[in-house]
Amino acid sequence: MAATRALSKFWMLTNDFVQNPYPVLEHVRSEGPVRELSLPDGSRAWVVTRYDEAKAALADPRLSRDIHVHYRLMSERTGRAMTPPPEEANHLANLEPPRHTPLRRAISFAFTPRRAEALRPRVAEIADELLDGLAGQARPDLIAGYADPLPVITIAELMGVPSHAWPDFLRWSVALRTHSPAEGSGTLDTSIRELSSFMSALIAEKEQRPGEDLLSALIHADPEHRLTRTEILSTGFALMTGGNDTTASLVGGVIATLLTHPRERAELLAEEGRWGKAMDELIRYVSPINNALQRVTTEAVEIGGTTIPAGEAVIISVMSTNRDTGQFPDDPDVLDLSRPKPAHLSFGFGIHYCSGAHLAKVITEVGARRLFERFPGVRLAVDPSELRYQQSPVVRPLEALPVAW
């Protein structure tokens, strides 16, 4: 892309960008690490596109993830008072220290690499059950039928949700991902109410009859690590959004990538132990995250020579950092499973680094491996140019992934 090409002031919001963002991001990075973006409501945001500046911004306490700060900004921009629902206002992704610290400590036990690895056999069982249901279809969609439900079922089971509620969990997860509190449609509010009612009843049940699951462990934790009922409910919401959406986007993206990279797929299938070493490069290349969760400046902040005033929205473009030649000098647009230290930012950095990162890797690896082991002849049923991505401010899921066996 020519360096002189003018971009729309809404450049990140266009469908052309959603479908093919990398040439635009390369152009923006060449101009500087920070770019202004106009928003449809007449306000603006600042987009950080280079790796070093983004990594520093993710760890900067002046760029707040506190949901109350964000709702105050939305209230100012929409002209109507808005307050965050308690289900979303009491989990660690939407809070800063000091409240963030005990919440992270309380749930960290559930997401250790050892615990995630122990789930491999069960993830494989879930994957095989889903593949059994797709095997008879001539042209199955691996997003709706596989990439979306695989993490939802895994995480719902981890939380102790009974199997009859898994379809509802999938529906709620999609609604929480695709609707905004500022749109005013009511869909998000309805989904929050339904999920809140279900989770509240489930928490009450596990208070009386605990099981071997995450919710029971949080409810009956020792006093030092015990959360309030509202915090446990809010943590469930965090797992429904951050856990399901990111992993579903990653599973679909990795499968699509391996369908179009037969040599790399053959390498992985020939050596099972290669998957773990290759996963970070797959994640970097796929970029399941468009942008980190939005930040708001609590005071003026200088990033890469640009001073961003207080009270401004900041978007950290993770998929731009994953193709930044300053961090990945050896052709970042190429999938290279032998790339040394592909230190991507897809799971964040600093205190908000994703607690479930290792679990997401396990689900993705097992899901992709079981698909190609069981159906080695699987292929795309459309030309790769026909694949389309959903428009989302955070994750980058495919709309569909039609295949033929």
Q: Cβ–Cβ contacts within 10 Å for residue 80, how many?
A: 10
Assigned fold of 15-404: Cytochrome p450 (1.10.630)
Tokens 């809140």 locate to 196
SS3 content of the chain, % helix, strand, coil (to 5): 55, 10, 35
**Nearest one of 102, 117, 121, 123 to 218, comparing CA atoms:** 102
What integer is the mean pLDDT of 70-91?
86
Domain ranges (residues) in the chain: 15-404
State residue 210's pLDDT score. Answer: 93
Going by pLDDT thresholds of 50, 70 and 90, the confidence category of residue 40 is confident
Give the span between the Cα atoms of 213 and 228, in whole angstroms. 17
What integer is the mean pLDDT of 252-274?
94
What integer is the mean pLDDT of 55-66?
96
Going by pLDDT thresholds of 50, 70 and 90, the confidence category of residue 4 is very low
State residue 325's pLDDT score. Answer: 96
State residue 188's pLDDT score. Answer: 73
State residue 1's pLDDT score. Answer: 40
Cα 103 from chain centroid (whole Å): 20
Q: Are 101 and 231 in contact (CB under 8 A)?
A: no
Contacts of 118 (CB under 8 A, 6+ apart): none
Q: Cβ–Cβ contacts within 10 Å for residue 88, how many?
A: 21
Tokens 């808005």 locate to 82
> What percent of the chain clears pLDDT 90, i.e. is strictly above it?
66
Going by pLDDT thresholds of 50, 70 and 90, the confidence category of residue 106 is confident
Model confidence at 224: pLDDT above 80: no
3-state secondary structure at position 402? strand
Model confidence at 323: pLDDT above 90: yes
Share the mean pLDDT of the chain.
Answer: 91
* Range from 105-109, 149-153, 331-335, 379-383 carrying the lowest mean pLDDT: 105-109
3-state secondary structure at position 209? coil
State residue 3's pLDDT score. Answer: 44
Tokens 């797959």 locate to 282
Higher pLDDT, 300 or 172: 300
Going by pLDDT thresholds of 50, 70 and 90, the confidence category of residue 157 is very high
Structure pTM? 0.92
Q: Are 252 and 364 in contact (CB under 8 A)?
A: no
Separation in Å, CA 47 to CA 115, 125, 143, 166, 300: 36, 41, 29, 36, 15
Cα 167 from chain centroid (whole Å): 20
State residue 369's pLDDT score. Answer: 96
What does the block give as tokens for 259? 């369908």
* Range from 90-99, 140-149, 375-384 carrying the lowest mean pLDDT: 90-99
> What percent of the chain clears pLDDT 70, i.e. is strictly above it?
96
What integer is the mean pLDDT of 107-122?
88
**Nearest one of 252, 256, 320, 243 to 284, comparing CA atoms:** 320
State residue 182's pLDDT score. Answer: 55
